[in-house]
Amino acid sequence: GRAVAKLKSGKTIVSDMLLYAMGRIANTDALNLPAIGLQTDPLGQLKVNEFYQTELPHIYAAGDVIGFPGLASTSMEQGRLAACHAFKVEQSTLPKVMPYGIYTIPEISTVGKNEEELTEQGVPYEVGRAWYREIARGQIYGDLEGLLKLIFHRDTMQLLGVHIIGEGATELIHIGQAVLTYGGQVDFFVHNVFNYPTLAECYRTAALDGINRMGKL
């Protein structure tokens, strides 16, 4: 009943559980794809173009079988776009701004850029934070460690990224996604009123925190 892992070095590790975090392996072995001229990578995945066509234009692939991001949400949209292209229904491409969610306890969700990416790109940014313990709804939930973080451009005030860890993170992220998609500024959250008591108020608190750090309040 225990997990046994045999390493390349010859070492054997016996444990109660094994966490496999090497990505998904596509279930394509039984399809005999080489017989029709399609080759897969070492993970069994297929290469596609922007329309989700494989190397054979009349064969499409979408979802986990084409690799990153491998999310249910993006996979469904990829399938829809592939079908639209196959039947010559004009559609846009997959949105550039997509949220990611990790359904752990607490939940984790993110959309847009992170600090490491912006630092590497030399983008001047500021950060605003809101702890759930500062929000009435967070206190009601008893989630005092939850955090919502906004990242925005120091010069233009444009929102660049939203990162949340805590109760309802995968739901809250969509507010930030909408503002990011339309190129909104962080002060959008300052000048709008949110229902009380809700965790959505974290957006306003985080925006005020970030703008205050810049001495603009």
Report the CATH number that the domain containing residue 137 is assigned in CATH: 3.30.390.30
Range of the domain at 178: 100-213
Q: Is the pLDDT of residue 92 over 90?
A: no
Same domain, 181 and 138: yes
Count the domains in the chain.
2
The phi, psi pair for 165, rounded to 5°, reads -135, 125
- The answer to whether position 41 is within a domain reads yes
- The answer to whether position 67 is within a domain reads yes
Find, among 39, 22, 20, 42, the residue nearest to 31 by Cα.
39
Same domain, 78 and 110: no
Same domain, 123 and 167: yes
Q: What is the mean pLDDT of residues 157-177?
A: 98
Average pLDDT over all residues of the chain: 94
pLDDT of residue 95: 82
Q: Which residue, 36, 52, 86, sits at the end of a domain?
A: 86
- The answer to whether position 92 is within a domain reads no
Same domain, 54 and 142: no
Instruction: Sort residue 73 into left (φ over 0), alpha (ψ -120 to 50) or beta.
Output: alpha
Same domain, 206 and 124: yes
Cβ contact 206:189 at 8 Å: yes
The 10s digit of each residue's pLDDT in 52-83 is: 999 999 999 999 999 988 889 999 999 999 99
| DSSP-assigned beta bridge partners for residue 152 | 126, 159
pLDDT of residue 20: 81
Q: How far is Cα 77 from Cα 89, in angstroms, rounded to an integer?
A: 14
Q: What is the mean pLDDT of residues 132-152?
A: 96
Q: Which residue, 25, 59, 86, sits at the end of a domain?
A: 86
pLDDT of residue 81: 95
Same domain, 119 and 174: yes
Report the CATH number that the domain containing residue 49 is assigned in CATH: 3.50.50.60
Task: Give the count of beta carbons closer than 10 Å to the beta carbon of residue 6.
Answer: 9
Say whether pTM exceeds 0.85.
no
- The answer to whether position 91 is within a domain reads no
- The answer to whether position 93 is within a domain reads no
Q: Which residue, 86, 114, 148, sits at the end of a domain?
A: 86
- The answer to whether position 108 is within a domain reads yes
- The answer to whether position 117 is within a domain reads yes
Find, among 137, 150, 199, 202, the residue nearest to 177 by Cα.
150
- The answer to whether position 95 is within a domain reads no
Which string of DSSP letters, residue by residue, matches 54-104? -SSTT-B--GGGG-TT--HHHHHHHHHHHHHHHTT-------S---EEE-S
Same domain, 117 and 31: no
Q: How far is Cα 154 from Cα 63, in angstroms, rounded to an integer?
A: 37
Same domain, 129 and 104: yes
pLDDT of residue 216: 65
Q: Is the pLDDT of residue 217 over 70?
A: no
| DSSP-assigned beta bridge partners for residue 147 | 131, 165
Q: What is the mean pLDDT of residues 134-152?
A: 96
Residues in the chain: 217
Same domain, 153 and 121: yes
pLDDT of residue 24: 81
